[in-house]
Amino acid sequence: MTRLILASSSPRRRQLLEMAGLRFDVLVSDIDEQIQRNESPAQIVQTLAFQKAKAVQRMNPDAYIIGADTIVVYNDQVLGKPTTKEEAYEMLRALSGKTHDVFTGVAIIAPHEETTFVERTEVTFWELAEEEIAAYIETGEPMDKAGAYGIQGRGALLVKHIVGDYYAVMGLPLAKTVRELMKLGWKKGETT
């Protein structure tokens, strides 16, 4: 059986692949995730996803490797993971009552071929009260999430609606990823 590897430490991406019934290993790449400011959001996430997959592929040339990266963009600003509670507060305050974009790039490197793609999803927040933001930050959930929220957790209560792929907001557009794997030769029967 051909080996499938997720080149990501994200527990959400792992959960999504498990939900799809795929058998895979996790090998985290050690790339420097510097954002090139001259790239568009779509280019940023595809470049980082490809770098993650390529780093793992060098040691596993016969495997199928999935790399992914997700960023939140509001007013042409990339909102990464907050480093302080104050930074999380500023991000959530800025997103309150507004629509922002979530870009998730995916790279799949197969033994003889590779592909990258991006999913863009619009997310609109409810108008958030100061106490609501403070209480959410106190849960600790915002601290390891781009844009300071996780749609699959308590952050779901902040979201008024989305236009696009819910799973892409979680970090991996699942259905498209599996379809792209199959286009590259991955056999559907190679699932649990």
User: CB burial class (10 A; 0-12, 13-18, 19+) of residue 184?
Assistant: middle
CB distance 111 to 127 below 8 Å: no
Residue 30: CB partners within 8 Å, gap ≥ 6?
55
| Distance between CA atoms of residues 184 and 160, nearest Å | 37
Catalytic status, residue 30: no
Does residue 50 sit in helix, strand or coil? helix
Considering 69, 76, 101, 144, which one is annotated as catalytic? 69
| Distance between CA atoms of residues 76 and 140, nearest Å | 26
Question: Which residues does the annotation mark as catalytic?
Answer: 69
